[in-house]
Structure 1
Amino acid sequence: MQRGITVRRTDAIQLGRHATALETLYRRCFSEPPWRESAERLARFPDRLTAHLGHCGSHGVVASEGGRLVGAIYGWPAGSTLESGSRFDDALAEAVTP
Structure 2
Amino acid sequence: MAAKSSSEGVLSRISSTVSESPIVYKGKRAASDAGFVVKKLLKSTGKAAWIAGTTFLILVVPLIIEMDREAQLNDLELQQASLLGTPTPAAPQK
TM-score strictly above 0.5:
no
Higher strand share: 1
TM-score normalised by the chain length of structure 2: 0.21
TM-score normalised by the chain length of structure 1: 0.20
Who wins on radius of gyration, i.e. which is larger?
Answer: 2
